[in-house]
Every structure is written in structure tokens, then in C-alpha cells.
Amino acid sequence: MKRQKKQDIKRFYKKSIIPAILLFLMFLVICVYFVFALLFFFEQYIIDQKVTAIYDEAEYWGNIITADVKEGDILSRVNSLEKYLGEENDICITDESNNILKSLKGTVPNFDSLRDTHYMLYPDVNNKNEGEILNEYLSFRRMWSQLKEVLAGEDVNDKDWLSQTIISDFYWVEIPVELDGYHLYYKTPLILVKRDILFILSVSAEVMIPLMVPVILLMINVVSSVRMQRRMIKLLYMDSVTGGKNWLYFIQQGKRILAKRRITGNFYEVVNLHMNRYQEYCLCYGNEAGEVLLTDIDTFLQKQIGKQEVFARFSKADFGLLLQADSVEQCEKRLEKLLTDLTAIQEGRTIAFQAGLYQIDLKALKKENKKHLKMQLDIERFFHYANAARLTIHEKEGQFIKLFDEQILQEQMWKHKVEDTMEAALHNHEFQMYLQPKYNPVSNKLVGAEALVRWISPTEGMIPPGRFIPIFEENGFITRLDDYMIAAVAKFQAERKKQGKKPIIISVNVSRANFTKDNLSSHICQLIDKYGAEHSGIELEVTESAFFGDKRILQKILSELKGYGFRLSMDDFGAGYSSLNSLKELPVDVLKLDMEFFRGKDTEKRGEIVVKEAIRLAKNLDMEVVAEGIEKKEQVEFLAANECDMIQGYYFAKPMPVEEFDERAERDA
């Protein structure tokens, strides 16, 4: 998977979740701040009420003292009030410098302590909370501790329960009187009862309840966003056919598994599991049955895959697996059993599977580049390696599992190199026509030639046909190469005609891929007529495999070419399962015996019988016979004795450049 796709997924995740979470957190912070501000506000409100009551008491005693102050001095007047004070109250007299002159009950204000900046109250020296200022009187910590005591197992049905004191601290306040040379102070407790704290909490709760509604709604929104995101991710990672995991999940999860540092084991195998002839299965049983089969395979694989492994469907009937293994042999044994079990996944229906393997040596990768291990874990590339290994299985009968090796990699790299350079090579005339002479085995005279292609690369040198022709046949470029060679033969024959040289029939191959064109015969005529070459001097070779296509179209095209005056030959007769009926129905002039007839241990016995009968059959059908691949004198003598018309092979000559052939033709023709 490309990096851009990964970034898109991450961006999708952030867009779907992060905004909802941020909005929830921001609102939650605002609510918490508001609640604490509310608690502080009501705390101050309660204190203001209590302090106001203290000031009223002080003002009351001040009015009593100053009412009859003229009838006696201030000290005796204050002494007379002692019997009217409560047990917890006191009055203190000081001079102008706050030196204590008299305290009715012996306690004194703590004038050295810090004054409250707002209320001008002084802590009593006997106050158990001495040193605390009034702003800390109802601190949240202290209020919470008192609240726990309030709610800890007490009988709330008691009628005096709300009036019970929970906090009582003593403070002095100056009595507001105007007396020259004196200051009067009044001592009284600042009392909090259970009703006060419950008032603060109840009012705060009433305000908090409406706030909880949007908090809950935002929380629901966050949860819904998370669930929706998970559903979207599930859909993103779901295969539309099997309902299991898709290829995107396989790539991401596979890379995550391999990148774990503490992973158990050092080897993993990437597997390309392929069901053979899936299209035929769908053709026989229908697409719906095919999808049911893929679902059954997916379900089966789910039961076989471990926690540190992953699998997913790649496309059609191809699955990718990442399997943990200690060795290739262990993985192959496991796959053999898996393939055997899969063949019986549907009762009464025979299905077959193949598997390609690519081994990942994690230990070697970590040792090579530990810091950038993730960059080396290209799961898709590993899967394509496994797929390349599987594609080579059909070449060997009885093989169902193939391990990717360096040779396969080199072949794939060569294939891509060929495909990358073939257009330029054709344009630059790097494909050269070579001619291999054909000789009469009786007279030893040159009677014809076959045009063969050679690729003369400026970087690779001469590339043999076996290294590029199969690639061209696979990718379709062979049709353009055929046109190139047909045109080269036409040009060569036209030049020989102009020079007055003896006519020689040149054969050129027409690949099977060309016979899908309805206008092939007219197309070939245009290529040849462009140079003014004689049609009778050109022989068109058709490989035996072409005769197993659509015979109606093939017969039509060959009949048209025959009508245009071209000679036709069946190339590689005997290389496959030749159809004698094709010889009867198609207008072929020449039968070219495959070189395999003349190789092997049976050449002198059973092989000779087959060759004799093939030559006799061709003669009876008025066909000429060419034997190719002849390298020994004994073979030439045998073919001459059995009236073979032409011999092509290294015994007489190898394929050669046009100039060299021209010289040989003038000498041997």
C-alpha cells in the first residue's frame, strides 16, 4: 500500500474522533471550572452572612457600652457587662497602641497574627486553628472532610440534625465605638452547622444537574463517534465477497506483525494461495456458488491462522497468507496439509490449489538495518514474489508448492527489462533478420531458407530468441515482431529480384496470436506489396499450436493467403498432439518435422518408423517435407533415402546474417 493511502486512513481516524474528544474535554474543563467557581461563590456568601452577624453583635454591645458611659468610667462599665456575656464571648479593652488593659475572661486577641484582608477579624490565641486566616476557613479540603463526617452513619431523621455544629472557630472583631484613648474588641465564635454546608452543596448540585445534560450528550457523541469510526474501519477492512478481511488489512496487519521487536521466531512465509480454474467453476456452478466457495475458503483459513499470523483475499480466488515458521520445510508440510484439506472443502466437487512461497528472514533483516526495518517490510512486494513462484508451477507436473528463489527474481527482472526496452529496440532496428539455409539432401543444393530473428542489443549483445520470444508471446508484442520480420523478408526478396539473382523461397513465421485478426491476409499482403516482392517467393509458417484454435477462422485466413499466392507450411509438426484431420482440411503446402523426431535413443528404431510414415503421408497429400534440427550425416542419409525434400540444421549451416547468406546462396544454389 502506498504511503499516501496510509496517511489518508490516519487523517480519516483523526477527523472522525479527535474533534469530538476535544469538544468533550473543553466543555468538561469549563464545567469543572464553573463548579469550583460556584462553590467558592457560595462559600463566600456563607462567610459574609456569618461575619455580618458578628458585626451586628459587636455593634449591639457597642451601643450598650456607650449608652451610659458618662455615668462611670469605661473599665467599670465593661466589667458590669461580664455577667451578661455568654460563656464563649469576651470583651477586651486596649489603649491607642493596642496594649491590652483589660480582658473580662482572660483571653486576648492575637494582634500579631495576620489580619484578614477583607473582614478585619483576629484569630483567638486559644483557637485550635490559630494562624489560619478566614479565607481558608471553608477551604474545599476542610469542607470535604467535614462533609464525610456529616454523612458517615448519622441519623438524618433527628430533628436537630441540620443544626448540629461541625465547625466552630473563635475570632475577635473591633467594637465600633468612639472613645478617646481606648479600643474595644468583642470575641465570638464563627459557627458552621450542617445546614450551611448542605446549602452550599445542594445549591451547587442544582446548578450542576443542568450542566450534566450537555456533558452526558457530549459523552454520548464521543462514544457514538468511536463506535461509528470502528464500523467504518471494519467496513474499510472488510472483503466485499467473503465478508472477511480485505487486502488493505492484510498489508497493514502483516507489516505490524513483522515490525514487532519481541516477535517469536525469526522466519515468516508470505504465501500466494491460488485456486485453479476458478472461472471454470463459476461457469459450471454460477457466480453465486463461486462466492460461496470463496467464503468457505475464508472461513476455513480463519481456523488455521494463529494470533501472530494474518490472511486475506487478494483477488478472485487468490489469497495472501503470512505464516510463522521455523523453516521452509515446516511451512511446506503445513501447506501440504492445508491444500489437501481445501480440496475436500466442498463435498462432491473437485477443486485444486497451488501455493507460492516467499521466505522472510527477520533476523537477517534486523541485523542488516535494525533502525529502518519497517521500510524493508514491503508485504505487497513479498506477495508478488510468492505469486511469481507459483506461476512457475505449471511447468512441472505433480508440483503444487514452489518457493521463490533468486533465479525466479532474475527471470522476472529480465522480463521487465525486455518489456521496458522492446519498443525502443524495434524502433532502433535492433532486431536483425538471420537466415538459415535449407538444403536438398540428395543434391546438396541450397533450395530455401528460414528467416529467424536475432536481437542485437547495444548493452546485452546478441540475445537468443528463447530469452525474448516467449515474453513477446505472453504480452502480445509478438504480432508487431511478426510484421517486422515479414517486412524484412519482403524487402530482402525485392532487392534480390532487382539484382537479378536466382529466386529462393524464404519462410517466415506467423505467430498464433495473429490469427485472431479477421483481416490478417490483407494485412500481410500490404506489408509485402509495399516492397514489390513476389508472393510465391515467401512461405508463411504456422506453428502446430495455431491449429487448435478456431478452425473456421484459421481455414478462412489460410485459404485467403493461399489465394494470394503464398506458400503455407505447418511448423513443428509432431511437437504436440498433431491432428491428422488438420492436414486434411487445411491448404498446407509444406510439412515441417519437429527436431525432436531426430533426438533421443529411439531415433534409429521407433523414431525412424514415425518419420518414414510422416514423409509418406505428406507425399500422398502433395506436400513437401522439411526436416529441421539435423546435425548428423547418418540423419541426412536416412532422410535422403526416404525422399525428404529439404533439410535444415547445423549439419549444413547455422543461422547467418543476410550478407553471408547471399554469398552462400550464389555459391550453393
Closest CA to 554 of 589, 522, 515, 523: 515
Structural domain spans, the chain? 3-206, 247-404, 427-664
Residue 216: which pLDDT band, with cuts at 50, 70 and 90?
A: confident
DSSP letter at 501 equals P
DSSP letter at 649 equals S
Q: Please give the mean pLDDT across all residues of the chain.
A: 81
**Cα 321 to chain center, whole Å?**
13
End-to-end Cα spacing for the chain: 64
Q: Does domain 247-404 have CATH number 3.30.70.270?
A: yes
For residue 218, pLDDT over 60 is answered with yes
Task: List phi, psi (to 5°) of 504.
Answer: -135, 130
478-498 and 520-529 helices, crossing angle to 10°: 40
100 Cβ contact list (under 8 Å, min separation 6): 92, 93, 94, 108
More confident of the two residues 181 and 390: 390
Give 105-108 contacts, CB < 8 A, sequence gap 24+.
107/187
Helix (H) or strand (E) holding 454: strand 446-457
282 Cβ contact list (under 8 Å, min separation 6): 289, 290
287-304 and 328-343 helices, crossing angle to 10°: 140
Task: State the cell numbers at 188.
Answer: 465570638
Beta-bridge partner residues of 325:
none
Residue type, position 498, single letter: K
> What mean pLDDT is predicted for residues 134-150?
56
Measured over the CA atoms of residue 215, residue 218, residue 220 and residue 223, the dihedral's sign is: negative
Strand 183-193 to strand 165-174: parallel, antiparallel, or no bridges (unpaired)?
A: antiparallel
Which pLDDT does position 424 carry in this prediction? 94
For residue 261, pLDDT over 90 is answered with no
Which pLDDT does position 164 carry in this prediction? 74
How many residues make up the chain in this entry? 669
Give the lowest-confidence range in 270-274, 338-342, 449-453, 481-485.
338-342
For residue 264, pLDDT over 70 is answered with no
CA distance 474 to 455: 18
CATH number corresponding to 427-664: 3.20.20.450
Q: What is the 3-state secondary structure (H, E, C) of 319-331?
A: EEEEEECCCHHHH
Which pLDDT does position 131 carry in this prediction? 43
User: What's the pTM value of the predicted model, to 2 decimals?
Assistant: 0.62
Q: Do residues 388 and 405 make contact, with C-beta atoms less than 8 angstroms apart?
A: no
- Which of 134-148, 452-466, 510-524, 607-621 has maximum average pLDDT? 452-466
Task: List phi, psi (to 5°) of 435.
Answer: -120, 130
605-648 pLDDT tens trace: 777 888 888 899 889 889 999 999 898 898 899 999 999 999 99
171-210 pLDDT tens trace: 888 888 877 778 888 888 888 877 777 777 777 777 777 7
Which pLDDT does position 111 carry in this prediction? 62
More confident of the two residues 619 and 120: 619
60-105 pLDDT tens trace: 888 888 876 655 577 787 888 888 888 888 888 888 877 888 888 8
Which string of b and e fits 542-577 if b means at least 16 CB within 10 Å?
A: bbbebbeeeeeebeebbebbbebebbbbbbbbbbee
Closest CA to 655 of 455, 414, 460, 470: 455
- Which of 68-82, 235-249, 317-331, 649-663 has maximum average pLDDT? 649-663
Task: State the cell numbers at 44.
Answer: 463566600
Q: Do residues 187 and 107 make contact, with C-beta atoms less than 8 angstroms apart?
A: yes
> What mean pLDDT is predicted for residues 144-168?
64
